[in-house]
Structure 1
Amino acid sequence: MTGRHLDLRSFKIPLGKLAPLETFKTRQGDVLSYRFYPAWCEDLIVLYHGVGSDSRYMCVLASALAKAGYANVVTPDFRCHGASLNSSDRISPNQLDIDLEELLIHIKMQRAVARITLAGHSLGGGFTLRIATSDLRTQFAKFVALAPRLPEHLQAFYPGHGGWISVREDGGFVVNMPEALRSGQEKLTYSKEFLVAASPSEDVLEKLKTLAPPLKVFTGAEDEVDIPDRHSELFTKARIPVEILPELNHLTIVSKPDSYLSRF
């Protein structure tokens, strides 16, 4: 299948919408980071980012959700991103699950929390599917996956991932971010161990069909990494609501969310 090319040159992070970076210490002694977007309610959305960058690029979507009053929004930095960028990403298969639990404990100690939604984009969307089919799913009222990364055998992404990712022989991959766009805060290499910890299981679609979690999937019709028609086919078969959003691509799905915000 002919692919598309992911072009980052027009993607900007509006600093005026960016919440300050905050950190917390886990019970394992690690320091992890996040950003918090407040709203006048007790609902909470935990919104995870994808590869290469960190919680910064989720600021438009996060601030829009909070400003509209849908929920308070926390955008965590995955371990080995943000404040922990330089730590080793050779982690255990359940480490990111543990980090999520630690984050929830921390947030609940800071403020009253009612219903919690887990959401994510790209790799973060895949992590959302992972949690939605795990024992941790009971902690969440619903799930939202934006252009979620699916297991390779499902053939749900274009060859070369839109030029964004190069897969290594050891099972890890390299992010092909142009030199001119780098700030030194990016994570450009990923180990196989990290990807295993962030990814849904190989039988995720069967689990979704059996467990029927309260999940929505959104993918842009112009996505350059994931194949929109394939997402529509796979999630429909798994009986999961999926919406293909006109005119949006892999990045504008988080930078231009107005067309679907009310259905989040």
Structure 2
Amino acid sequence: MKGRILDLRTFKIPLGKLAPLETFKTRQGASLSYRMYPAWCEDLIVLYHGVGSDSRYMCVLASALAQSGVANVVTPDFRGHGASLGISDIIPENQLEIDLEELIIHMKMQRAISRITLAGHSLGGGFTLRVATSELRKQFAKFVALAPRLPAHLQAFYPSYGGWITPNEDGSFVVNMPEAMRSGQEKITYSKEFLKAASPADDLMEKLVKLSPPLKVFTGADDEVDIPERHLELFTKANIPVEILPGLNHLTIVSKPDSYLSRF
């Protein structure tokens, strides 16, 4: 199965929808960043990005959710992205969960929050699945994973990864960001430690069957990185609601969310 090639040339970030970058300090002393899209309610969606970029490219989906009144939306930058770009991504396996808990504490100090949804795209979707099958899941009302990164042994990627990443033998990988599209704000290399911290466990599907978390999965029918039919097969078998969205690919699933926004 050869798969498709991910083409970034037509993907644009509409600056008019982009919330300002904000930072907060964790109790461990790290300075991490996020963007906030407010709504007139007390629900909160924490929406994580994928590899190569940061919270900026989530702005269309985040602003649409907030403007619809579904929830306030915060788009965090993973450690080593956004304002913390350049720091080492060789981290303990539970570091990103700690960072998530620190973000939630910070958000609760800023505004009244009743229910929290954890969501993410690509690597962020994989992190969402990781949390949904951990003890930390109890802090969230529901989970939404968009084109989530799954464990390699599940064979849910096209062999070429859409041309988007080049894996290394040691478990790290490199993002194939075209030179012409680089601005210095990208993260190009990912350590095996970071990827392990962001990824669901190898027994993900067994955990989903056992725990049955309140989870939805959306994947574009034209995804260039993930194999939509494999997502449908795996999540259906695990009794998790999954939708394959016609006309959407790995990036337009977050830049053109109108077709599924009401079911988020």
- Structure 2 length-normalised TM: 1.00
User: Once the two structures are superposed, what CA deviation does each residue of 1:177-227 show, in whole Å capped at 9, x if it has no partner?
Assistant: 100011100000000000000000000010001100000000000000000
**Partners of 1:247 and 1:159 in 2: CA distance:** 22
User: Once the two structures are superposed, what CA deviation does each residue of 1:32-53 show, in whole Å capped at 9, x if it has no partner?
Assistant: 0000000000000000000000
Q: Does residue 86 of the first structure (1) align with residue 91 of the second (2)?
A: no
Query: What's the C-alpha RMSD, in Å, of the aligned pairs?
Result: 0.3
**Partners of 2:90 and 2:2 in 1: CA distance:** 33
Aligned to 2:242: 242
**Partners of 1:2 and 1:183 in 2: CA distance:** 30
Aligned to 1:108: 108
Per the TM alignment, residue 169 of structure 1 is displaced from its structure 2 partner at its CA by 1.8
Per the TM alignment, residue 170 of structure 1 is displaced from its structure 2 partner at its CA by 1.5
**Partners of 1:205 and 1:115 in 2: CA distance:** 26
Aligned to 1:217: 217
Per the TM alignment, residue 93 of structure 1 is displaced from its structure 2 partner at its CA by 0.2
* Identity rate, percent: 83
Q: Is the 8 A contact 2:167 2:173 kept in 1?
A: yes
Unaligned regions of 5+ residues in structure 1, if any? Answer: none
**Partners of 2:158 and 2:133 in 1: CA distance:** 25
SS state of the match for residue 6, structure 1?
A: coil
Q: Does residue 228 of the first structure (1) align with residue 228 of the second (2)?
A: yes
Off by >2 Å, runs of 4+ in structure 1: none
- Structure 1 length-normalised TM: 1.00
Aligned to 2:205: 205
Per the TM alignment, residue 2 of structure 1 is displaced from its structure 2 partner at its CA by 1.8
Aligned to 2:63: 63
User: Once the two structures are superposed, what CA deviation does each residue of 1:97-152 show, in whole Å capped at 9, x if it has no partner?
Assistant: 00000000000000000000000000000000000000000000000000000000
Counterpart amino acid of 1:102? E
User: 5 Å matches for 1:80-229?
Assistant: 80-229=80-229
**Partners of 2:206 and 2:121 in 1: CA distance:** 21
